Chain A
Amino acid sequence: GQQLNQSPQSMFIQEGEDVSMNCTSSSIFNTWLWYKQDPGEGPVLLIALYKAGELTSNGRLTAQFGITRKDSFLNISASIPSDVGIYFCAGRGFGNEKLTFGTGTRLTIIP
């Protein structure tokens, strides 16, 4: 099935560093969502975006809905150990309810 392209595929950073990741699609989306998934658990919703150009924050996390409607970005400031996990973007197109997920970005913090 279709998956959105996320980059980078993996990141190795030190605690305290800022993180940036993005998600791109060949299709236009009406809604962008960002999730975090820990091993053996379901994805946890972090941020939802509904309007092109929208910039939304949730604590140290900031996400943006791209102007073209074909991309979205997630930034994490001052990373901490609990930020470790896999981050997924998800988009919803026009006229349907399903979410199309990205390939994921695995974040690892180097001690």
Chain B
Amino acid sequence: DAGVTQSPTHLIKTRGQHVTLRCSPISGHKSVSWYQQVLGQGPQFIFQYYEKEERGRGNFPDRFSARQFPNYSSELNVNALLLGDSALYLCASSMGRRSYEQYFGPGTRLTVT
């Protein structure tokens, strides 16, 4: 079975621009979570979605938003990009809302210049 997939793999944007990152969960998984990983640190929780509804939000500004589609895939949107948004953005999927074993995709490397 295919694992979690993310696109694009790499992305370079300019300050002030907007970016959309995409994630497809493992088949049968209904929950998707997004994390930001800055170089040298562990991942930081951004959002969790289950059945198309936001179920959890981390300490990130409103410039960050996300949604989940009927096929359980998800998008993460970031507006008004800042240099500090440069990071590896990870998507993780799990089977259900109370399944805590999260499986990660390879990530999208975002560079803001």
Interface residues of A (CB under 8 A from B): 1, 3-4, 31, 33, 35, 40-45, 48, 50, 88, 90, 92, 96-104
Nearest residue, chain A, Cβ from B46: A98
Provide 12 A-B residue pairs closer than 8 Å at the C-beta atoms, listed in order of the A residue: A3-B41, A4-B42, A33-B100, A42-B90, A45-B101, A45-B104, A50-B100, A92-B100, A97-B97, A98-B45, A99-B45, A101-B44
Q: Is the CB of B48 within 8 A of A98?
A: yes
Q: Is the CB of A103 within 8 A of B41?
A: yes
How many B residues are at the interface, by size bracket? 20 to 34
Nearest residue, chain B, Cβ from A102: B42
Knowing A3-B42, A43-B90, A97-B33, the reply to whether A48 touches B104 (Cβ < 8 A) is no
Nearest residue, chain B, Cβ from A89: B42
Q: How many inter-chain residue pairs (CB < 8 Å) link A and B?
A: 70
Q: B89-113 toward A: CB 8 Å interface, digit per residue (1/0)? A: 0101000011011111111010000
Nearest Cβ on chain B to A98's Cβ, whole angstroms: 4
Knowing A41-B106, A42-B106, the reply to whether A103 touches B56 (Cβ < 8 A) is no
Q: Within 8 Å of chain A (Cβ to Cβ): is B58?
A: yes
Q: Is the CB of A48 within 8 A of B105?
A: no
Measured between beta carbons, the chain B residues less than 8 angstroms from A90 are: 42
Q: Within 8 Å of chain A (Cβ to Cβ): is B55?
A: yes
Report how far A6 CA is from B92 CA in the complex, Å: 22
Report how far A4 CA is from B4 CA in the complex, Å: 25
